[in-house]
Chains A and B, each alone.
Chain A
Amino acid sequence: MSQKNQPPPVKSPEEKPHSGGNGHQPSEGQPKGPEGGRNKPGGGRRGPGGKPQGPGIWSLLKPYKGLVALLIGLSLIANAVNLLIPKIIAHGIDAFTDHSLDIHLIIWQFLGAAVVVFIFTYGTTFIQTYASERVARDLRTRLADRISRQNYSFLQNTSPSQLLTNLTGDVDAIKLFVSQAVNSIFASFFVIIGASILLLTIRWQLALAVIATIPIIGITFFVVLQKVRALFKTSREIIDWLNKVINESILGAALIRVIHSQQLEYAKFLEANSKALGLGIRIIKLFAALVPVIIFTSNMAVLTILAWGGHFAILGKMSLGDFSAFMNYLNMLIFPVLIIGFMSNIIASAQASYGRISAVLNAPDPVENGTIVTPLEGAIEVRDVTLGYGEKKVLKEISFTVPKGSRTAIIGPTAAGKTQLLYLLTGLTQPDTGSILFDGHPLSDYRKEEFHRQIGLVFQDSIIFNMSIRENIAFSDTVTDELLEKAIATAELKEFIETLPNGLDTIVSERGTSLSGGQKQRIMLARALAIQPRILLLDDFTARVDTQTEQKILDNVQRSYPGITLVSVTQKIQSIEDFEQIILLMEGEMIASGTHTQLMGSCPEYVQIFQSQRSTSHYEQHELQS
C-alpha cells in the first residue's frame, strides 16, 4: 500500500513534437521547464479518477513474458493446492465422525499438499525477486543509456533531480509492481473464485451468504482507499518538501553555521514536519474507519455460518467437517480482497511512474548529422547569434571572428552572457538564431565526437569527479601518458601532485572538497589541455588562481601548445592586455571589440573597467619587469 510516488505530470510521447533536427530549443516540446519540477502541488495532469496516459504498465512486461508466465504459473499452482487443504481437513473430520477414517491417507494427502505449496511458494518468491530486480535493472540501464545520448539542453530542461527520481523512485515503484502486484492480482482472483466454488459445492445457500461479504468489504475498501490515495499523494509532496529543506540544510551547512540560522532552518522543517504529522493522522483516521468495518463484516459471516449452518446441521444437512471447511474458507476469502485493493494502489503508482519514465525513454535522440572529421585549424566565426531563455534575451546579435592561433578575451560585468557565449562555442547549447562557424563550416556539420576531441573547455564552477586525480585529468579516453604529463606540467600541478601521498592516484572527493579552489581549477585546466585541443576555452579561469601562477600558466600554454586558439572569459584586464582581440559584453550585447590599445582609445566602458583595476595592474607590471 505504499503510494511511493505521487502520480504527476505524465506526458504521453504523442504529445511531444517529434522534432527532426537537432534543434532542441529549450522552449520547444520538452517535458518540463527548468522549474516545472515534478512536485508542483497540483501539477498532476491526471484527473482524480482518470487513467494516466502513456503506454500501459503491463506492456513493460513483454520482454519478460516467459518469466512472468512462470511466476504466475507457480503462484497459481501453490494457491490451487492450498485451496485443497481445508477440504482435506473437513474430509478427515467427517471420516472420523463416521468411523471410516484412514489416518495414513489423510496424513499423506495433507503432507503432500503442504510440501507442494511450500515448494511452489518458495519458487514464486524467488522468481518474484529475480524478475522484479531484473526489470528494474534493465529499466535503469535503458534510462541511463537514453540520458547519456541526450544533449545538454535536454538536461537543462529536465532537471537532474527529476532524472534522479526517474532512476530511483520511479523504478522502485515499478519494481514493487512486478514483485508484488503481478502475481498476487492473479492469485487473489483465483483464490476468491476457487474458494467460492468450493463453498458452493458444500452448501450453496450458506455459501452465497458468506460470499456476500466480499462486495461489502471490497466496496468499503475501495472507497476508503480512493481517499487514502489522494492523501498519500499530498503526503508525498510534503515529504518532498521536507527533503528539500533537509537537502538545502546539508548543502548550505557552512552558511547556516556562519549565520547561526539553525533555528530558522528548524522552523522551516518543523512547519513541513507538522503538516506531515497532520496528514499522517488523517490517513490513520481513514484506516480507523476501514479496519473495523472489515473485521466486523467477516465476523458477521462467522455469525451467519453458526446460526444458519447450525440450522442446516440440525436438519442433518451439514456435518462438523463442513463447519470447519466454511470457517477455513472464510479466512481464505477475505484476505485476497484486501490484497487486490492494496495492489490496485501499487499498480496505479507504477503506472504513473512508468508514464514519467516513458517520457524520458521516448525523448527523441538528438539527431547527429555532422560529417566533417577533418582536424580543426582553430578559426572561429560567430555570426549574428541570439540566445534567449523565455522572454529574456541573454545574447543579442553577437558577431565576431577569431583567427586561428590567436588569443581572444571576453570581458564584461556579471550576468553579461559571457558563460552562455562560451557554451555556444562548445556546442553545449545552440543559438536561437545565427550560426557559429569553425574554419568556415557550421558547428553542426562536424561530427560531435571529433569536434569535442579538439575543444578544451575549462568550466567556471569546479567540477571534480570522485575518483583519482589521474582519472580526473585524463578524463577523455584519448589521453596518453605523455599528454597527461604535459598537461600537468602546463597547469603547474606537478609540485602539488608530488606532495600527495598517492600522487596521481590520490582520490579526490565529491565536489572536490579536499582541494582548494585554485587546485580544482588547475586540475580542470589540465583536463582540458590533456586532450591536446586546437581551441582552448577558459571561463573565468583566473578567478581562483593567484596572479603569479596564472601568468606562469598562460606562458606555459603558449610554450607547450603552440598555435592553439585561446578564448578566455575573464575579469582581469592586466593578463589580457597583449591579446589580439578583446570583446566587451554587457547585458547580452557586444559593446566593443579590438585590441587593448584600440579599446582604450574608443570605448569609455572599457576604460572604466580598466580604471577600476589600474592601480594594482600598474603595480604588478612594474614588479614583474623589475
Chain B
Amino acid sequence: MSSTNYNLSQNPAEEVRTSNWSALRKLLDLLPEQRGKLYLALIVMVIYAFVSMLGPYVVGYTIDHYIKDKAHQDYHQVLVNCGWLFLIYLVVLAAVYLRTTIMGGYGQNVLFSLRNTVFNKLQELPVAFFAQNKAGDLISRVNNDTDKLNQFFSQSLMQFVSSLFIIVGSGIFLVVLNWRLGLATLAPAALMWIFTRLLSPWVKKKNAESLKSTGAMSAEIQESLGNFKVVLAFNRRDYFRQRFMAANKDNYKASVSAGVANNTYTPVYGFLASMGQLIVLLVGIYLIAHGKFEPGFIVSYFMYATSFYDPLRQMATLWAGFQTAIAGWDRISRILTLESNLPVVPSMTAVHAETPALLEFRDVSFSYPDGKSVLHHNSFRMEQGKTYALVGPTGGGKTTTASLIARLYDPTSGMVLLNGKDIRSYTPEERTQKIGFILQEPLLFTGTVKDNILYGNQQYKDYDNEALTKVLETSGLETLLSRFDEGLDTKIASAAEGISLGQRQLIAFIRAVLRNPELLILDEATANIDTVTEKMLEDILKRLPATTTRVIIAHRLNTIENADEIFFVNGGEITRAGSLHQAMDMLLHGKRVS
C-alpha cells in the first residue's frame, strides 16, 4: 500500500490526454449545485443569439423592399423598420447584460470550487506524495496551472461561450434564409473544423511541453537562488549561470514551438473567412441573376457572414487559451485523481487478554516506492509513561520508524497498534491528538511566534497573550520565550529569515508540548539547540504528565541518558538495547547487530 507511486513527473502511462469535451465535463461537474444558473445562462444566450440575428434580417428586408427598387421606395416604412430595429437592439442590450452577469458569475464559481478542490486534495494526500515530488515543481503546478485556468475563466470563457451561440445562430439564419447560399457560405467553416481537429492535439502537446519546461525552469531558479550561498562560497557563479541558461534555452525552444502552434489558427481562419465572403459575393450574384435570391439580402448575408466568421476567428485566438487552460487542467487533474493511501480502516483487532501496550510494532517491514527497503520484520512494544530512545547511525531507519508511529506512512507489511488497536482504525483527529511529532526540519508559518505555537491547537486557540503565558508557565515553557526578541509577538516572515534553526526548533517544541499528546516523538528535534537550553527542554519533558510516553531520536547521548529503554536502529533492524552501556557498545562497534 505504501508503495503507491505519487511521482507526478513519472507515470507516463497516465499521460493519456483527455479529450476537450470530457475535460470540460469534469470541470463542470465541480459545481453541480449551480447547474440551474448554467441553464439560465444558456437560455439567455439562445435568446441573445436569436434576437441578434433578427437585426441583419430587418436591414436586408428594408433594403430589399423599401430602398432598392425605385418603384417601391418608401422612406416612412424605412423609419418604421428602424423603430423595430431599435426595439430589437434594446432586447439585445438586456440579453447581453444578463448573459455577462450570469455566465461570468458561474465561471467565477467554478473557479472558486476548482481552487477549493485542488487545495482539499493537497490536504488529503499523504506525506509520501510530497516526498516524491519536488516542492518547486508542485508549487508551480498548482499556482501556474490554476492561474492559467483563472485567466481563461475570468477573461475568455464568456466570450468563448457567447461566440459559440452567435456562430450557431448566424449559421442557422444563413441556411434558413437561402439554403443554397447558406450552405455555400458555410463551406469554408467545414474546412476550419477539419483543420482544427487535425491541429488541436499537436497544439495541446506543444502547450503541455511549454508548461512543463516553464515548471522546470522555475524549479531550477528556486533551487539555485535558495542555495545561492553555496554557489558563492564554492565560487560557482558559473554553475548558476550554466544551469539557468540550459533551462532558459529549453524553455525558449518549447515556448517558440508552442507559440507557433498557437498562432497557426489565426491566419488560416482569416483566409477561410475571406473565402466565405467571396462565396457570398459570387454565389449571391449567381443566384440573384437566376432569380433565386433577393438582392437586398446580400447586405444581410454579408452581416451574417461577418457575425459567423468574426466570432470564429476570435475563437481561434481563444482556442489557444482554451487549450492552455485544458493543458493546465490536465496537469491538475492528475493530482485530483490521486488518492490517499492511508485510509481509515474498520477496527478488526480483537481485544487481547494481556493489557495492550500504548504502541506496538508487530512484524513491521517498510520499503519506499523506489524499492529501497528500510525496515525488515520488526516487533517491539512501548508502554505508557515511559521514555524511549531510538539511537543508531545515520540512515539506519530511525526517522522512518518514527514516521510509522505517527502514521505518516503505512507499513509495507505487518501492523502498528496503538492502544491495542490497529493504528489505521483511528481517525486522523484521534490519532494526531494522541501522537505528537516534532519533525527534524521545523517549519514555521508566516505570522507571529504565538500564531506558530498555537498552530492547530484547538484548546488554546482563543487565548490572549496573558492567558497563554500562564499556560506556558505551568509547563515551564515560558522560559524558552526569552529566546525571542518580542516574545509571543515576535514576527515570523515566511522565509524564516532572522530566525535561527535553533529558534525554529524551540517553537516546534513548544507547539508540540502544548498539545499535550499521549505519545511525543522528538526526531532530532533539539539538534541545533545549545545544551543549556536543551537541559531546560529536558526538564520540561520531565514535567509532562506521568502518563506521557516520549520517543526521542538523538545523536547526542546526553539527551537520551534518562531513557527507560533504548532501541538501536540500524540496517532495517530495531534492537532493544538493555542499557545505555549496551547502546553505546552497539554504536561504537558500528553495524554489529546482535
Contacts and interface: CB of A to CB of B under 8 A. Distances in A.
Contacts of A93: 281, 285, 298
Contact of A476 (B229, B234, B497): B234
Nearest to B252: A137
Nearest to B153: A280
B219 A510 contact: yes
A216 interface: no
Interface in B131-183: 131, 134-136, 138-139, 142-143, 147, 150-151, 154-155, 158
A295 B532 contact: no
B234 A527 contact: yes
Nearest to B508: A255
Given A265-B123, A310-B75, A509-B134, A428 B229 contact: yes
A160 B222 contact: yes
Contacts of B127: 253-254, 257
A396 interface: no
A78 B290 CA distance: 36
Contact of B274 (A107, A114, A265, A419): A114
Interface stretch (A13-21, A47-55, A65-73, A116-124): A116-124
A302 B55 contact: yes
B223 A465 contact: yes
B116 A273 contact: yes
A617 B214 CA distance: 53
A257 B408 contact: yes
A575 B440 CA distance: 23
B299 interface: yes
B270 A121 contact: yes
Contacts of A331: 306, 310
A254 B558 CA distance: 27
B138 A250 contact: yes
Residue among A121, A389, A540 with most chain B CB within 10 A: A121
A142 to B, nearest CB: 11
Contact of A419 (B55, B302, B500): B500
Contacts of B241: 144-145, 148
Nearest to A162: B225
Contacts of B448: none
Contacts of A144: 240-241, 244-245, 248
Interface string B234-257: 111111110011001101100110
Contacts of A148: 231, 237-238, 240-241, 244
Question: Size range of the interface on B?
Answer: 35 or more
Contacts of A295: 92-93, 96
A296 B92 contact: yes
Contacts of A609: 530-532
Nearest to A143: B244
Interface in B316-341: none
B299 A323 contact: yes
A313 B59 CA distance: 14
Contacts of A289: 97
Given A107-B278, A254-B130, A331-B306, A277 B108 contact: yes
A457 B502 contact: no
Interface in A238-281: 239, 242-262, 264-266, 269-270, 273-274, 276-277, 280-281
B263 A415 contact: no
B281 A92 contact: yes
Interface string A123-150: 0011011101110110011001101110
Interface string A433-453: 000000000000000110011
Contacts of A401: none
A475 B230 contact: yes
Contacts of A461: 501
A260 B235 CA distance: 43
Contacts of B528: 414, 460, 540, 543, 571
B495 A159 contact: yes
B225 A164 contact: yes
Contacts of B120: 266
Given A246-B142, A250-B139, A544-B394, A155 B555 contact: no
A281 B105 contact: yes
Contacts of B142: 246, 250
A307 B67 CA distance: 10
Given A141-B245, A148-B240, A549-B394, A260 B527 contact: no
B191 to A, nearest CB: 13
A608 B536 CA distance: 12
A461 B272 CA distance: 61
A62 to B, nearest CB: 20
B89 interface: yes
A546 B558 contact: no
B100 A160 contact: no
Interface in B22-79: 55, 59, 62-63, 66-68, 73, 75, 78-79
Interface in A548-579: 548-549, 571-573
A314 B217 contact: no
B270 to A, nearest CB: 6
B255 A328 contact: no
A4 to B, nearest CB: 8
A612 B535 contact: yes
Given A415-B503, A465-B223, A613 B531 contact: yes
B385 interface: no
Contact of A510 (B135, B237, B262): B135
Contacts of B248: 137, 140-141, 144
B404 interface: no
B584 interface: yes
Contacts of B86: 303
A359 B515 CA distance: 47
Contacts of A254: 127, 130, 408, 439, 443
A424 B501 CA distance: 18
A85 B277 contact: yes
Given A255-B443, A459-B230, A612 B75 contact: no
Contact of B221 (A151, A163, A457): A163
B139 A114 contact: no
Given A261-B455, A392-B485, A465 B557 contact: no
A313 B67 contact: yes
A513 interface: yes
B299 A320 contact: yes
B393 A531 contact: no
Nearest to B66: A310
A572 B554 CA distance: 13
A12 B299 CA distance: 56
A167 B217 CA distance: 10
A452 B150 CA distance: 47
Contact of B123 (A262, A313, A514): A262
Contacts of A193: none
A101 B531 contact: no
B97 A288 contact: yes
Given A96-B285, A428-B233, A262 B270 contact: no
A246 B393 contact: no
Contacts of B527: 517, 540, 543-544
A85 B274 contact: yes
B584 A620 contact: yes
Nearest to A331: B306
B395 A519 contact: yes
A89 interface: yes
Contacts of B501: 460-461, 540
Which 8 A-B pairs rank lowest in CB-CB distance, beginning with the nearest? A518-B394, A414-B502, A261-B456, A129-B259, A284-B104, A260-B432, A125-B263, A160-B225
18 contacts: A35-B493, A110-B278, A132-B259, A148-B238, A179-B259, A239-B147, A243-B143, A248-B494, A287-B100, A295-B93, A307-B82, A310-B75, A311-B78, A452-B233, A518-B393, A548-B393, A615-B561, A623-B584
Given A303-B89, A320-B299, 18 more contacts: A96-B285, A144-B248, A148-B244, A168-B214, A247-B143, A254-B127, A285-B101, A289-B97, A306-B82, A310-B62, A320-B296, A392-B485, A455-B233, A476-B235, A543-B555, A546-B394, A609-B531, A624-B588
